[in-house]
Chain A
Amino acid sequence: MPIRENVIVVGGGLTGSIAALSAAETGASVRLVSYKKSTLRFASGLVDVLGYPNGDGPVSDPFAALSSLPDDHPYSLVGEGAIRDGLSLFDEVTGDGYRGSHTDANALVPTYGGTVKPTARYPTASAAGLASDARSMLVVGFRSLTDFDARLVSDHLEAAGVPFDVRGAELSFPKEYRADAKVTRFAKALDTDEEIRFAGRSVGMREAVAETVKPRLKGAERVGFPSFLGDEHASEVRTDLESQLGAEVFEIPMGPPSFPGLRLEDALFAALDDAGVRISSGNPVVDYEADGDRLQAVYVDRKRTRVPYHADEFVLATGGLVGKGIDSDRSRVREPIFGSYVPHPSDRYDWFDTDAFGDHPFAKFGVVVDDEMRVVGVENSPRFSNLRAAGAVVGGADGAAEKSSSGISLATGVVAGRGAGASI
């Protein structure tokens, strides 16, 4: 059995990475197996613990609100300590790339829809944008970037009653790209400080962007950009813009491909490498081999070839409906790898609420786990004694509505990973 580890974690997003790191901390040998690019490239990069419990909120202290959650909520299963452990592991991994660890209170971070999101940790790049800060703000958008409308953001922020003056300005990017230019182009131009012709001379892209923004500044103390201010050299891009504008510069998280999400993925994978976690990505796990109640191996599909990956312990961190850890057809909802029990009404018309923003049952679909994150069956007994699950594949929470997705990933990831590692 050549490809063999103590622990195999299936899934390469926030949950899988945290589970693998937690398992590795116990001294176990760990391999992370992932299929496609993770949903982190769709993620805002904000790490929220709890903003709207049971549809109420926003709450200022997520920990104080934990007791109001139902018993089958993942937070109720793992408890406050696990959430704190998850956050401190996250802080360790991200270092000075993230802020928010100084307080239990939620920070309020503006989003590209102009809403204000209560969140526990936020990228340093977004730090100057907090809505609780009273300094005047200019939000800058670029015309060819249709996903981000600066005036809409500023209007919405104003309507939300933020305690500062905010204006929006739609500008032309100093270099013309095709109409549907990808944000990656803007990011790269800033990252490399591409030389361009601007106002009759040759200048670096960062300077050209600053010059474009300057006339609209009108005394604003901070300037928010869509989150494409560089990729590898993001903090350098920001510092350069700040010194040229004489104002603080911050990023407002955007839709996919999301640089804050991608940068977080880079930080996680670097931490995995440092921890000696082996990574196999690019092929899906499709099947398993078990001996009685113990899993022996998972099978990875290599285009008509099935490659076994053996381990003593397994963690399922494949995500929810978006990440495709949970799948559905017209007749049922299922977890596709192990066929784990996913409770759901038999009539599919009961899977959703008729109100678009209502309390949708489908949002909470997922596998059932015990307080050690072991996957259990219909009778509440572990299906396999060495299979745990974590993150969005676990049912019981509507992470998107509660603003709890990342916190659940961290808390359950730590419990599952640590438990798997400790069982060796």
Chain B
Amino acid sequence: MSDAETPADTTNPNVAQDDFEPVQVFPEAEEMDLRPGADNCYKCTTCDSACPVAEVDDEFPGPKFQGPEQWRLKRKEDEDIDASVMDCSNCMRCDNACPSSVPLSQMHNTARGEFVDEQMEKLSREYIRNRLLANYRTMAELGSKAPRLTNFVMGLGATKLFNEKVLGVTSEREFPEFAEQTFRGWWNERGGPQVRSEDKRVAYFHGCYSNYNTPEVGKAMVRVFEEFEYEVVVPKQRCSGTPMFANGMLDDAKRAAGINVDTFSGLIADGYDVIASCTSCSMSLKQEYPELFDLEGIEDVSAHTYEAMEYLRIHEDLQGALADSEVAGQTYAYHAPCHARNQGLDRQAVELFRDVDGVEIEDVGPSCSGISGTYGWKSEKYETSMKIGEEMFEHMHHASGNVGMTECPTCSMQMEHGTGYEIRHPLQVLEEALA
């Protein structure tokens, strides 16, 4: 996709809407390239100063280089993508920082895809490891068939040693435990939706983590929405693709996206909106899919996808519903995931819970947690990941609460890893407050 094909962007206030037709200096591009928006970059370096990797890794040239400059370099024949693109953690903070709306993360995803396709040795340990990590869902599906056994095996020193030495997966981290029963298992056992409605309908994109590892988040989501009398359906789905984008596995991501878009766009036609409890999942469906893939129904899915609490804030009087509620006293140290921040959702939990009796909530600041999905699981990235996270750990320790709160599953792993705190999802607290 090139911006020569993109119709006039009527939603972006930074793009002048007029009849002026630029001369088409580039041939019609059939394939995705790095160009869209590159010319809008005026090298102010705001993106570089927002990049958590560049902040701790002196060797990483930063988002400005990975995007617009990479594009300029690529215009010469026989120029390869710079290998440093694999050091980008796909936190997408650069998107939010750019004053000129240069689609930096789109450029990075594209560059990373090209690097992996054309320059990475497919039999290398790195490729195989990345592919395994990117396809977490496949492993999780197997693992969750026998959760206790898997948890036992994954916790073994021998397994960790194997992962570290053979695969390059760090032994520093504890594998997330698989739940005794998956969310989907629970959903089927309870017999699907408990509320039926003609006009209040949502289709839940639970993602992998709340299905296999933290079904309590999915259950909270369902109960909260049913409390507001929504009909909730849980269609068959694949991984959102986030870990695949981050590892440059665009073919895998496209396959998963194809299945997800097909399922969910069908439901949208029946009046359902799509909601996700993981901010990376909603980001993926809303932003990355249409940026990277040309799939039937993708615009529709993007336009109808919401983060769960965001959806309630827009459609229900959530503040009113919580006005008289009270929960058992608890102080939370809240961390906004980068992918929530980039969607403008970073303050909603704090805003909402500030007025709930019993809840004390403190924002632990704007730093990135550093784990960035699969990034912090790689042996060679572990140290960088922890260095980025240091600021968040420190702020969490200084915050008065010793229970953490975040929307993102891997941020919560990092928060727990760095502080030992128990971590909850805002939906769980919302469920408690509405009960």
Contact = CB atoms under 8 A, between A and B. Distances in A.
B98 interface: yes
A41 B55 CA distance: 17
B306 A305 contact: yes
B48 interface: yes
Contacts of A2: 313-319
Interface string A297-335: 000111111011000000000000000100111111000
Contact of B314 (A36, A41, A307): A307
B44 A256 contact: yes
Interface in A142-190: 177-178, 181-185, 188
Nearest to A308: B314
A336 B306 CA distance: 26
A177 B97 CA distance: 23
Contacts of A188: 55
A68 B180 CA distance: 77
B55 A257 contact: no
A152 B326 CA distance: 62
A182 B48 contact: yes
A188 B54 CA distance: 12
Interface residues of B, number: 48
Nearest to B307: A302
B66 interface: no
Contacts of A328: 16
Contact of B13 (A41, A286, A302, A329): A286
A256 B97 CA distance: 12
Contacts of B303: 304-305
Given A2-B314, A185-B55, A185-B58, A42 B44 contact: yes
Given A177-B58, A307-B314, A324 B49 contact: no
Contacts of B16: 327-329
Nearest to A284: B13
Nearest to A336: B13
B11 A256 contact: no
B18 interface: yes
B112 to A, nearest CB: 21
A182 B62 contact: yes
A282 B46 contact: no
Contact of A282 (B12, B13, B45, B96): B96
Nearest to A279: B347
Nearest to A335: B13
A331 to B, nearest CB: 6
A178 B299 contact: no
A178 B59 contact: yes
Contacts of A340: none
B343 A256 contact: no
Interface in B60-99: 62, 96-99
Given A2-B313, A257-B46, A303-B302, A36 B96 contact: yes
A348 interface: no
B347 A36 contact: no
Most central of B11, B96, B305, B318 by chain A CB within 10 Å: B11
Contacts of A305: 286, 303-306
Interface string A267-305: 000000000001111111110000000000000111111
B97 A37 contact: yes
Nearest to B299: A304
A280 B58 contact: no
B344 A280 contact: yes
A257 B45 contact: yes
Contacts of B305: 305
A307 B344 CA distance: 12
B351 to A, nearest CB: 5
A199 interface: no
Given A37-B96, A37-B97, A178 B347 contact: no
Instruction: Determine chain A's interface SS by DSSP, over half rule.
Output: loop
B261 interface: no
Contact of A337 (B13, B48, B302): B13
Contact of A283 (B44, B59, B98, B344): B344
A282 B49 contact: no
B202 to A, nearest CB: 14
A356 interface: no
A278 B319 CA distance: 13
Given A182-B48, A282-B346, A329 B18 contact: yes
Contacts of A3: 313-314
Contacts of A329: 16, 18, 20
B21 to A, nearest CB: 11
Contacts of A42: 44
B287 interface: yes
Contacts of B45: 182, 256-257
B397 interface: no
A141 to B, nearest CB: 18
Contacts of B96: 36-37, 282
Interface in B307-337: 313-319
Contacts of B13: 35, 284-286, 324, 327, 336-337
B341 interface: yes
Contacts of B55: 184-185, 188
Q: Which of A35, A41, A303 has the most CB of B within 10 A?
A: A303
Contact of B286 (A181, A183, A280, A303): A303
A257 B20 CA distance: 34
Contacts of A37: 46, 50, 96-97, 99
Contacts of A36: 96-99, 101
Interface string A239-266: 0000000000000000011000000000
Contacts of B11: 286, 301, 304
Contact of A324 (B14, B46, B59, B62): B14
A109 to B, nearest CB: 23
Contacts of A280: 344, 347-348
Nearest to B390: A192
A285 B346 CA distance: 17
Contacts of B313: 2-3
B287 A303 contact: yes
B342 interface: yes
Interface string B4-24: 000000011110101010000
Interface string B37-61: 0000000111011100011001100
| In the complex, the 6 A-B pairs of residues with the closest C-beta atoms, listed nearest first | A282-B344, A329-B16, A304-B303, A257-B49, A283-B344, A336-B13
5 contacts: A2-B316, A2-B319, A41-B49, A284-B12, A327-B16
Interface of B: 11-14, 16, 18, 20, 44-46, 48-50, 54-55, 58-59, 62, 96-99, 101, 286-287, 290, 299, 302-306, 313-319, 341-348, 351
Given A2-B313, A282-B341, A305-B305, 12 more contacts: A3-B313, A37-B97, A42-B44, A184-B49, A185-B55, A185-B58, A281-B347, A282-B96, A303-B302, A304-B303, A305-B286, A336-B13
